[in-house]
Structure 1
Amino acid sequence: MPAVHLKLDTSVELPGEAPLQIGASVWWPEQAAQADTLLLCLPGGNMNRRYFDLRPPSPDDGDDSFSFAAQMTARGFVVAALDHLGLGDSSKPQDGWQLTAEVLVRANVAATAELLARLREGRLSADLPALPALRSVGVGHSMGAMLTILQQHAAAQHAGVVLLGFSTRGLPEYAPPAVRDATDPTAVRPLLPEIARKMFGQPYPVIHGQRNGAGRGDNAELFGSRKADPRGVAALKAATDCVLPIPAAMSMVPGNVAPEAAALAVPVFLGIGERDMVGPTHQVPAAFSGSHDVSLCILPETGHSHFLFPARARLFERLSRWLQSFD
C-alpha cells in the first residue's frame, strides 16, 4: 500500500515553545482515485500512531492482518494516523503539563484540516490524485476515542465516528478518590492537572511491565492474554509510548465526555471487545443519544487492544460494511 509520513502544522502556541507540529502517516489504496472516505485515526493512551499499522517484528513475517491501515486500504479507504502532541514524531513540549485534552484537540483539529485540504486538492503526494469529494470519518481507540469525540464536538470535521474500546463510564475502579467520586464530569475538569500530577508525578511517564490485563484481573485482557496472537503482542511494542497524564486522568472520570458524546449528531460505530474495559457492553450505546445511527460490534474473546485478537478480521469487515452504509 502506498504511504507517506509527514509533519503537519498546528495553530497551537504554548508559552516558551517553538511552533508545534503533529506527526502523521497516510496510506491509500492502489485505486486511490475511487476512494471517497478518509479514516482519521487517533491512538489511545500509552500508544503512538504505529498502533494503526502493527507489523510483526520478524523481517520474514509478511502478515499484515494486524495492521488497521493495511486492512482498510485493501478495502478502498484512505487511512491516516496522527501522533498526539508529546508522542511519537509530534512536538514534545518541555513542559508536558501544558498538554491538556483541550490543547490536544486544538492541535488535532488543525492537523486534520490541513491534511484534508492537501488530500482534496492533490497536494499530499505526486502519487496521489486530488480527492475533492473526500469525506472524513474519525477513528479513535480508548483515550483516542475520547479525544475523537471532543474533536467532533469542537469542529464537526467528520461525517461519522468510529470509537474502539471506549465508553463514557470512565475507569472509576482504577482512579483515585478525587476522580472516582466525581459526580459532575465537567466540574472536575479544571482539577485534572493537579490530580494528574499526584497520580503520575511526571509529565511523560513510561508505564513498564505491562502484564496480562495490566494486572487488573481477567476481565481486562489488554495485551498478552492467551487469546492474543503473540506476533501481534510483539508488534505492539513498537507502538508503545509514554502516557499523557492529564488526558489519561480525564478518561478515568465517571461520565468523562458524556455531554459531548450525547451531542454527537453523526453516525457512531462502537467496536468493543468481549473482555474489554468499558463496563457492560450493551449499555455503551445509550451515551450517544443524539445520533440517529449507533452501531455496536462486540468482538468475541477480545481484549482492549482489538487488533491483537482473532476477531480483528470480523471488525475490519463489519466496519467496512458500515462505512459504506451511510452518506
Structure 2
Amino acid sequence: MTEPFEVRIDVADALPAAITGDQPFHIAAWIFLPDTIPAVPTVVTLFNGGTYDRRYFHFDVPGRQDYSLAEYLRVRGHIVILPDHLGIGASDRAQDQMLATREIAALAHHTAVERIHAMLRDGTLVGGFASLPAFVKVGGGHSMGGFMTITQQAAYRTYDLCLILGYTADGVHLTIDGKLIRAHPGDLDPAQPDYAKRDRSKLRATFHWDDVPEDVIAADDALLVEVPYVLSTQSIMTGIVKADAAKIDVPIYINLGERDVSPDPHAEPGFYRSCRDITLHILSRSGHCQNFAETRLEMYDRIDRWVGDQARNL
C-alpha cells in the first residue's frame, strides 16, 4: 500500500475557548493522493466509527490484502482524506471532553475539511502536487462517522455528495443473542468519565458476519481506542439526527450490512426528505463493519463507481 502523508489543521479560531483552552487545537488527517487526476477531480473525506480511529479505512492485516478503502479509492483516482474525530486518535482532546458535543465536533471537522480543501485549491497542501481550482467534495463515514457526517452536512453543507455507511437515522440497534435490540443509552450523565474503552467481545455478532477470519477479527480488536463519552453516547441515541437527515439535499449513498444497526434498512431513505437522489445498498454477508466483510470489495467498487458517476453528472 502507498502510505499517506499527515496534516494537522489548527481549528482553534473556530471553537469556543472552553474547548481549546485558548491554545492551538488540531484535527489530524491522513491524505492519500492518486498518481493521476481524472477530468472531474473528486475529494473523498471519510470518518471512522466509534471505538476506532482513522485506521479503520486504511486497515492492514498481516498476510492479507484489500482492507483499505482509502487505498482502493486512491488507486482509482480519488483524493482521500481520513481525519481523526475531535478528541480521538491524533486529533486534540478538548479541555473538558464533556463539552465536546456533536455540534462542536461537527464545527471542528467542517473547519478542518474546508481548510484542506482550500489548500488543494491553492496548491499548498504538499510540494509537487498541482493546485485543483475545482473538484467534487464527497464526505461520509461509518457508524459514528456517519452520524457526524449527517450532523455536519445539515449544519454546514460541507459536501456535494454524502456516503452514510453502517448508520441509521432511526436509532442504533445491536444484535444480542440473535435478536436486534434497540440501544438505550439514556440521557448524558456528567458523572461518567470523559473516555473509556468499550468491550468489543459483546459486539462481535453486530460487527462481524460469521465468515470473517479469526486473524482479521484479532487485527480489528488491536485497533481498539478510547472513545469520548459524549460523542459515543449521542451517536446511539434514538432519533437524534432525524431532523438533520431531513435537511440534506445532496445525493446520498447509504450502505448497510445484511446484519447491521438499522431496524429497517429499506426505511432509511425516507429519513432524507429533502434528497431526490438516494442509493440504498445492502451488502450481503456483512455485519456492521463492512470494511472487514468478505464481500467488502463489492462496497468499495460501488462507492468508486457511484462517486464517479455522480461527479460527472453534477
Q: TM-score, normalised by structure 1?
A: 0.86
1:36 is matched with: 41
2:157 is matched with: 156
- 2:278 aligned with 1:294: yes
- What's the C-alpha RMSD, in Å, of the aligned pairs? 1.9
Please list every run of 5 or more consecutive structure 2 residues that lacks an aligned counterpart in the other structure: 174-181
Question: Are the aligned partners of 1:229 and 1:309 in contact in 2 as well (CA < 8 Å)?
Answer: no
Aligned equivalents of 2:211, 2:22: Cα separation in 1: 44
- Cα deviations across residues 243-300 of structure 1 (Å, max 9, x unaligned)? 1222222222221111110111100000100011111111111111211100011001
Question: Are the aligned partners of 2:4 and 2:33 in contact in 1 as well (CA < 8 Å)?
Answer: yes
Match of 2:269 among 270, 282, 285: 285
Question: Are the aligned partners of 1:161 and 1:269 in contact in 2 as well (CA < 8 Å)?
Answer: yes
- 2:272 aligned with 1:272: no
- 2:288 aligned with 1:304: yes
Alignment length, in residue pairs? 298
Question: Are the aligned partners of 1:52 and 1:67 in contact in 2 as well (CA < 8 Å)?
Answer: yes
2:146 is matched with: 145
Match of 2:184 among 166, 175, 178: 175
1:27 is matched with: 32
Moved over 6 A (4+): none
- Cα deviations across residues 46-85 of structure 1 (Å, max 9, x unaligned)? 11111110011x3xx3x44110111111221111011111
Match of 1:202 among 183, 193, 210: 193
Alignment of structure 1 residues 110-259 onto 2, 5 Å: 110-171=111-172, 173-176=182-185, 179=186, 192=187, 195-197=188-190, 201-208=192-199, 210-211=200-201, 213-214=203-204, 218=205, 220=206, 222-223=207-208, 225-259=209-243
2:176 is matched with: none
Aligned equivalents of 2:162, 2:15: Cα separation in 1: 24
**Larger CA deviation: 120-129 vs 302-311:** 120-129
Aligned equivalents of 1:240, 1:33: Cα separation in 2: 36
Question: Are the aligned partners of 1:12 and 1:103 in contact in 2 as well (CA < 8 Å)?
Answer: yes
Aligned equivalents of 1:293, 1:239: Cα separation in 2: 35
SS for the counterpart of 2:291 is helix
Distance 1:46 1:312, change over 3 A: same
Aligned equivalents of 2:215, 2:250: Cα separation in 1: 36
SS for the counterpart of 2:195 is coil
Alignment of structure 1 residues 57-96 onto 2, 5 Å: 58=62, 61=63, 63-96=64-97
- Cα deviations across residues 221-260 of structure 1 (Å, max 9, x unaligned)? x14x532233432332453211122222222222111111
Aligned equivalents of 1:321, 1:156: Cα separation in 2: 23
2:177 is matched with: none
Question: Are the aligned partners of 2:40 and 2:136 in contact in 1 as well (CA < 8 Å)?
Answer: no
Displacement of 1:28 after TM fit? 1.6
Q: Structure 2: which amino acid aligns with 1:54?
A: F
SS for the counterpart of 1:324 is helix
Q: Structure 2: which amino acid aligns with 1:229?
A: P
SS for the counterpart of 1:80 is strand
Please list every run of 5 or more consecutive structure 1 residues that lacks an aligned counterpart in the other structure: 180-191
Displacement of 1:96 after TM fit? 1.4
Aligned equivalents of 1:135, 1:232: Cα separation in 2: 33
Distance 1:310 1:145, change over 3 A: same
Sequence identity percentage: 28
Q: Structure 2: which amino acid aligns with 1:23?
A: A
